[in-house]
Structure 1
């Protein structure tokens, strides 16, 4: 059963309208601030509705925005706090922190320490690390958090896609349960696409099983950009896939990343599937 589109499209229209009004208020700083607040609230509704589609209720709250000149320093400080809080995890290769060219922070969680094999439940031993991550995210709340799940290529591609979605959702649920506003959260599963290493070895497959968090600043006047899906990175390419897996999925299909609800494996959740955002 495909998800209803009518809940998302009117909201996107409202968001575009709010952004358009922002241009009319460029000479009035007070009006501009009001438009920014409205835009943040609508964007929050879009994100919340995509995490919890088909509910019929707007969810999420306004996300604050940064002045353009303050972004670099804000993200510098956030990166330092992440590195200080998660130093042990970085040294143990459980987690990686990268700064991308557009001031996005990318945190890569190693699935070997965060999930059991073929499961989407977060391992209890990794939860203290997520607690520290959530604490920094609460402090720097003028950002969005786009959670993307990946698998290796072992097994059917459609199963891997669903597993990656469930793992991304588990991380987003945990962050929401620990104080990160759901207005900031968005999830996507990309399955076995965009491998970091060869799937022909166990070491390579371990690198490919991961969850990535893209933490983006919400910039005043450019709020919508913070909610766009991250583009896939250049992938490791190999002539043949792991012998126990099926056809290689071309990672270029994620150059224009689909919304979560457009995923071919999506099904509208039952009320007891997960806590409503």
Structure 2
């Protein structure tokens, strides 16, 4: 295409230096506006303006924080970006159409990596993520989950959805407290609700801290229809994030 106006929408949005910086920061996890302001070192009104453009283009979404409703967390739409990149390559030349699916690293490359997922009750989101990461890696990742205020048992819709969609059986699994994993070494600590993000303790070894702002499907089920569909949506979102996490867990080869 001969003009900038004719360029694909993804290219026009992502080519701006500040918008590209925002996308790269959000690729690492979900952030509030004030955190993005600090990360990119630009005024809040300017950051908010470019976030609106990215959201309008479908590259990011935002959700109200469950910890403080005055805040919103911004999230990179991984599948949307993948398809936009594929379409951008194809727009230049048919042979440049990219596969929008994230690459799956070889099993040996993730062996020995330790990951902790956290949420408040450890009854839905974090055990779902634990089960899906273990499933996607064939058990080669050392993965566990815990909560700041664990419930008595896993939510039955979480158990049901994993069994029906992935054949994963969580029978006998019980929520655990964050205290039970104190002192363990983790490479990644991933908080999955806004409340637990504020109270996750420090772990030795300086693990990489990521945040996934995912609403509680038990609460969503009371406001958006029956509980099971809400859990199905949550499981699908978590699985998408897990699939795109796998290449991050695998150490990158350094070109010689």
* TM-score exceeds 0.5: no
Q: Which has the higher contact order (CA 8 A, sep 6+)?
A: 1
Give the TM-score of the pair, scaled to structure 1: 0.29
Give the TM-score of the pair, scaled to structure 2: 0.31
